[in-house]
Amino acid sequence: MLQRRIPLLITFLTGVIIVITFFIPHPPFGKLQDDALVWYSIILGFSMLIGVDSLLRFHYRRIARREKGFGFSFVFYAGFLACFITGIISEIKFGDAFAEGTSFRYLYDYILVPLQSTMFALLAFFVASASYRAFRARNFIATLLLITAVIVMLGRIPIGAKIPGITPLTDWILNYLQLGPARGIRIGIALGAISMSLRLILGIERTYLS
């Protein structure tokens, strides 16, 4: 019983305090907010440790059960250990793992950065291929999408400015046509977040306890 009630009570009190201090940042609430934010940072630090623990266990299970693609879990362990060990050594030796000349920085500059850049750069190729296949004027809506995409694509490059009407049309699409739905989606997300927060604070939503 207490196992459920105590977390619910902590959630309720924390939620209420944070909401009050956000709107009334004056004494005594201001100090409370400051303390709560420090606590948040500390808890976040520990949650990272839990995340690492969870990831290590997940890949250990995959290897132990010889699940499909378990070889990639070895790659994960190799990467994790390489970063962890070089990170600790670099931090002790240089006082900053990212300092120039450290082994950790070497891994960052010559493995991580090229890998991240490559992954993102590949998008250009896939977007081109997908656009060629997907933008077909099969019906009225598809045609509208196709025309809008081509106008915006032209409007986002210098040559578009030389074609009469493209720049104002692109600006109109960005400033008006897409703005209404974009704002609607954002308001919808915000309302959803508020209702979910209220459910959590009031103890209606309890799935996080399981």
Alpha carbon 203 to its chain centroid, in Å, reads: 26
Rounded to whole angstroms, the Cα distance separating 130 from 135 reads: 8
Build a one-symbol-per-residue string for 44-83: x at contacts with another protein by CB under 8 A, - elsewhere.
xx--x-----------------------------------
CB-wise, 121 or 198, nearer to another protein?
Answer: 121
By the rule CB under 8 A, 198 interacts with another protein: no
How far apart are CB 187 and another protein at their closest, in Å? 9
How far apart are CB 16 and another protein at their closest, in Å? 17
CB-wise, 39 or 72, nearer to another protein?
Answer: 39
What are 139's two structure tokens? 């019906």
CA proximity to 103, closest of 124, 81, 125, 119:
81
CA proximity to 111, closest of 86, 79, 140:
79
CB-wise, 6 or 128, nearer to another protein?
Answer: 128
Using CB under 8 A, pick the residue from 14, 103, 148, 167 that binds another protein.
167
Q: Are 51 and 36 in contact (CB under 8 A)?
A: no
Q: Are 36 and 21 in contact (CB under 8 A)?
A: yes
Rounded to whole angstroms, the Cα distance separating 78 from 66 reads: 17
How far apart are CB 108 and another protein at their closest, in Å? 6
Q: How many residues line the site for another protein (CB under 8 A)? A: 56
Q: Which amino acid is at 132?
A: Y
Q: Which amino acid is at 66?
A: R
By the rule CB under 8 A, 195 interacts with another protein: no
Q: Other C-beta atoms within 10 Å of 27: how many?
A: 8
CB-wise, 183 or 199, nearer to another protein?
Answer: 183
CA proximity to 70, closest of 62, 79, 80:
62
Build a one-symbol-per-residue string for 96-115: x at contacts with another protein by CB under 8 A, - elsewhere.
x-x------x--xx--xxx-
Q: Are 33 and 21 in contact (CB under 8 A)?
A: yes
Binding site for another protein (CB under 8 A): 22, 30, 33-34, 37-38, 40-41, 44-45, 48, 95-96, 98, 105, 108-109, 112-114, 116-117, 119-121, 124-125, 127-129, 131-133, 135-138, 146, 149-150, 153-154, 156-159, 161, 167, 171, 174-175, 178-179, 182-183, 186
